[in-house]
Structure 1
Amino acid sequence: MVRLLLVITSALSIAAATLSLQSCGASDVEAAPPVGPLNNVVTLPDGSTLAASKGSLSRGIAAWLASRDGQKGGFAFGGFVEDRPILTRAGIGQAADLSNILRAAPAASIEIAGDAAQARALAQMLGDRGIAPDRMTVVPAAGLGSVWLTIDRGSTAPLMTAKS
């Protein structure tokens, strides 16, 4: 029995060594270069960070909150499946980022305007992620083509830092 185990162990060791040597001759694979800017980090007021690429909804909201440009800012939220109240994968990510930003800026409030079912679905997701109902207003507005977010900063001071 012991001899059989030694023979099997030896055979497996030889097979592993052979495979290792074969892989040494394989050509090198180079990683794909990153697309877009390397620094996509937004620092939130509570010290946490959020990855938000330039041109994204999250980056736009964060940059606006970091500035002193007006008390209210408007942003299009297009993260729904066509005309249905179902969030796409990207829409779920945008909503999650939005809730993180709103949690880190407790003075800010949000108005969600658009198709009634879509606006309620987004408000529900934000509520599930910790945004109090008294900070959100849902405004049914047909014909916008997407959900429109109006964020009231609640303060004249910059609320967060958007690094570039």
Structure 2
Amino acid sequence: PIITETADAIWDRVHLLRWNRQFDEAERDIALPDKLRKEYSGILNWLIKGCIRWQESERKIIRPNSVMQAGIEYRAESDPLEDFMATKCELNARFTTTVKTIKEAYKDWCGYENIKDMVSTRNFNDYLRERGCVMKPIRLDGKVAKCWVGIGLQENESDL
């Protein structure tokens, strides 16, 4: 599925299992249902033991490293802001950019990249907060403007 949400809340629930093996018709085991049927009691015992382990571990499922890594890779592939951040922005505590400037840069980038479904303002803001940016009012040229502290546009993108 396509996940455009950038918040950790959704990604904490995604557990991606990669299937690294496919079986062609010649490898198909047509007797597999009968083989499994003969092992029902063993399979049930295995499930019960797994349930007990889960209950004893405060109902936490320990994910294998391969599942965690697959989730990280899938999140990066699905990240609707990854390319924008990589090509147009720099994260650094010394940088400050107005909310208006960064939003306009994103809008312009989406137009240039022919992206129709822009990330919502709420998700965009959550994304920046998750990366350590802080929104706060700052006095610029005698006026107070909402700014993001911790992000700047790359040199060729900003006059700040």
TM-score, scaled to structure 2: 0.24
TM-score, scaled to structure 1: 0.23
Higher helix share: 2
